[in-house]
Amino acid sequence: MKGADRRLVVASQNAGKCREIARILDRFEILSLAEFAPVAFPEEGRDYFENARQKAVTAALATGRVCVADDSGLEVEALGGAPGPLSARYGGPDLDDRGRLEKLLTELRDVPAPRRARFFCVAACARPDGRVALAEGSCEGEISTEALGEGGFGYDPIFRPDGFAQGMAEIGREEKDALSHRGRAFRALEAGIEALLKAADA
């Protein structure tokens, strides 16, 4: 990997997440994991940091390139921090994004406002030799009583960030990227990415 190689592979099959990361890391050239042979990721556990690290390292070993990944979750105060790292699998494999957020709204039906919550993200960057950089970011807010807006993905339609009258799925992409947990985590990771790319070019 000689020369000024600014290419990063996003270790995710989630198209919405990949587009969001590409917007946030616009200083780099983002490659899709779909351009490479299928990657078998380890089963995710209950630790954001380990999940993000494993995804990035697994993709880096499989592709031979510097890879970025994240592990994110919605933590609801009234549910003791659930669904947390299990957010993408909340309610079991038969539920899609809409089914998961509807399940969560049902569980919070009798909880009065404000129903405090936060999005949390750990972002990771890994080289094929196993070296890793990690960073984190969060976004505080509350859970609405119904899904709002058509933008975003995952739990965005039921999350209202602090200081906003609109939900996460109603605000513009640039504004979302500036305040979101994923935006904050990947911006915090940029120095680590630069260091790993320089080491790869050495």
Q: Which residues are tagged catalytic?
A: 71
Residue 86, classed as helix, strand or coil, is coil
Per the listing, tokens 């990690």 go with: 134
Please give the Cα distance from 75 to 117 (Å, whole number).
5
Distance CA 69, CA 59 (A): 9
CA angle 29, 30, 35 (to 5 degrees): 125
Whole-angstrom distance, CA of residue 134 vs CA of residue 186: 9
Give SS3 for 76: strand
